[in-house]
Structure 1
């Protein structure tokens, strides 16, 4: 007589429903398009319906400090350069960042701009101090330009009067100097040189070559062979602080 074995555990037969990939993809795509549409509507100007990006302005104002140090030079005509210690030269001005640029425009206050004179205490010629009574005063008339904080490039328009005098005996009419002080190369017909761009401490070397026209003084015109070129090299720092 045959026998049958029955399992005490009930068995169920169940089929999981199949998820159609197209339905899920379609829903996700629709949901994503809805979010993009919502964002776009918030960004679009109603007048044109075109998505535009508004640039963030980078304009800012600064206080600018200018200082000069030793290791400067001043040369004129074909004579050797004066070695010039301009320690103590100072200036203050205002700076404004040019929008969408790394450049800052600078304008120095002439009333607060001081460049030391060349005297026997501050200048040497051919390794020797200037004669005791010889003096060259520098009277600035303009110092302004641009500084690129990203590259360190400096271009400053510089105008000044240079007054030659010997004690109280002789004082010549001023020599007018109008040049571009640059951290790059400045080159004329007989004079030239290269400066150095701003470093992390704000230090730079600025150089400029200018043409000096004759003045109403026969002795100076003959002695300096005017018209001629002059060269100015300044060892300086330019620093910025927020207003």
Structure 2
């Protein structure tokens, strides 16, 4: 038979430390600026994000029947069907707005070519191409009202076959579903409907480039206007 040894010393109790103060949540803020054509200077806004962890997936698609215009020339008729982009969004604190940012690597906007663009009813010459290289697309979407404001930055690269390539034109504007108005150009968009369809417009001031021919031909510095029909879809990430 085994023997039991009984300890005469009292048991030692260990106290587990308890955190008495709640964890501290940090509120992030996103800043974006928009071009104010009438004042010629950027307008900055900071929007605090919600403390919740709601994250949304956002997709962007461009459609046909768009228009692009520069200086006092008539607008180009532009078929942007096939443009795409994806990004993410987070809810802005105490509002129905989402702060969205698109991944530049996923952004594609069709170039202006003889197959996508007409000027005065005629296709562009087959040797003329204008490539659009997006640099930034971010801003706010109000799910309740359908209002969209997206800061857009891109390079427009003109080329004529292999014999001529101009330095890129840098275009910075806010694509809005409301009104965009400059000194020469203006346009009004349309807010998101239930299917995500919208019309985004934006006026931008274009600075001169290091090319005498382009500066003279386009009357730089000047304003340009974009009118884009698009579909924006939002889905809550699991």
CA contact (8 A) 1:57 1:100 kept: no
Partner of 2:178: 184
Tell me the secondary structure at the aligned position of residue 99 of structure 1: coil
Q: Which residue of 2 aligns with 1:144?
A: 138
- For the residue of structure 1 that corresponds to 2:115, the secondary structure is coil
Following TM superposition, where does structure 1 have runs of at least 4 consecutive aligned residues deviating by more than 6 angstroms?
none
Choose which of 84, 107, 124 in structure 2 pairs with 1:113. Answer: 107
Name the residue aligned to 1:155. Answer: 149
**2:76 pairs with 1:82:** yes
TM-score by length of 1: 0.76
Structure showing greater Rg? 1
* Structure 1 residue corresponding to 2:190, chosen from 180, 184, 196: 196
Q: Structure 2 matches for 1:1-243, cutoff 5 A?
A: 60-243=54-237
- Is the Cα contact below 8 Å between 1:214 and 1:227 reproduced in 2? yes
Q: Which has more helix, going by share of residues?
A: 1
Could you tell me which runs of 5 or more consecutive residues in structure 2 were left unpaired when the two chains were aligned. Answer: 1-49
Residue 47 of structure 1 corresponds to none
- Distance in 2 (CA, whole Å) between partners of 1:214 and 1:83 is 24
TM-align CA RMSD: 1.1
CA distance in structure 2 between the aligned counterparts of 1:73 and 1:97, rounded to whole angstroms = 32
More strand by share: 2
Distance in 2 (alpha carbons) for counterparts of 1:185 and 1:241: 27
Per-residue deviation at 1:99? Answer: 2.3
- What is the CA–CA distance in structure 1 between the aligned matches of 2:58 and 2:196, rounded to whole Å? 11
